[in-house]
Amino acid sequence: MADIKEIIARRVAKELKDGDVVNLGIGLPTMVANFLPPDVHIVLQSENGIMGMGPAAEPGKEDVDIINAGAQYVTVLPGAQYFDSATSFGVIRGGHVDATILGALQVDKHGNLANWIVPGKMVPGMGGAMDLVVGAKKVIIAMQHTQKGVHKILDECTLPYTAINVVDLIITEMGVMEVTPDGLVLSEIHPDFTLDQVQEATECKLIVSPDLKPMK
């Protein structure tokens, strides 16, 4: 199997449409921007106050006044704008962000998301994640299907929620799952895996789409 993160990022990129305003989380989601088709141009938003963010700054060419929400030095594209934090989150909560793509510790069949705290172990804070998943029009979870074999896609999250009923789509190296009122519908499966393998790696019962396609 090719690089797992790349497989996921390539598939997520297909969800984005030309002109979409998109917020990418730290880590794997950042890679999505590398795999957009040439005719798809998106507007990247960074919640610390950038609309129209460009790639990371080249070493030696950093502008210390321009960082992204992960505190990395970045660039901005022509036509970019800066906001203060209150306005930036007005943009987010106000439904002006088309899609947010982020990782998860756990996600469940109801579309509930847990990705900010492991009580007693990891208490980094939620940052802007709670606002982003509540405010963005589409919430896409991009993550590895399990945590070294431990289920992450569950009947019910056991960790504290980031938000409830917010996830629209889950994309992993094994497939694509849509959150529906009936549960998770597996709409695409990666050719390297069988249905049994995907189900075994998932705690909740998957509904296999009658129109199941290979994930590319």
Partner 1 sequence: MKDKRKTAAEAVSVIQDGASIMVGGFMACGTPEILIDALVERNVRNLTIICNDAGVPGRGVGKLVSNGQVKTLIASHVGLNPEVGKRMTCDELDDRIECILVPQGTLAERVRAGGTGLGGFLTPTGVGTIVAEGKQVLHVNGRDYLLELPLRADFALLRGSITDTFGNITYNATTRTFNQVMAMAADHVIVGTCELVEIGAIDPNNVMTSGIFVDTIVGGEEQWQI
Residues that bind partner 1 (CB under 8 A): 46-50, 62-67, 69, 71, 73, 76, 82-86, 88-89, 92-93, 122-131, 134-135, 160-165
Do 164 and 137 form a contact (C-beta atoms < 8 A)? Answer: no
Specify the residue, 48 or 172, whose C-beta has the smaller distance to partner 1.
48
Distance in Å, CB of 46 to partner 1, minimum: 8
Q: How far apart are CA 147 and CA 151, in angstroms?
A: 7
How far lies 175's CA from each of 50, 56, 73, 190, in Å?
Answer: 32, 29, 33, 5
Sign of torsion, CA 121 107 216 132? negative
Residue 187's identity, in one-letter code, is: S
Distance in Å, CB of 64 to partner 1, minimum: 5
Distance in Å, CB of 216 to partner 1, minimum: 35
Do 142 and 8 form a contact (C-beta atoms < 8 A)? Answer: yes
Specify the residue, 104 or 198, whose C-beta has the smaller distance to partner 1.
104
Q: Is 62 a catalytic residue?
A: no
Residue 133 is encoded by which pair of tokens?
């998943």
Catalytic residue among 47, 58, 156, 203: 47
Q: How far apart are CA 116 and CA 205, in angstroms?
A: 25
Specify the residue, 36 or 44, whose C-beta has the smaller distance to partner 1.
44
3-state secondary structure of 108: strand
Specify the residue, 67 or 207, whose C-beta has the smaller distance to partner 1.
67
Distance in Å, CB of 99 to partner 1, minimum: 17
Residue 141 is encoded by which pair of tokens?
């979870």
Residue 187 is encoded by which pair of tokens?
């709409």
Q: Which residues are catalytic?
A: 47
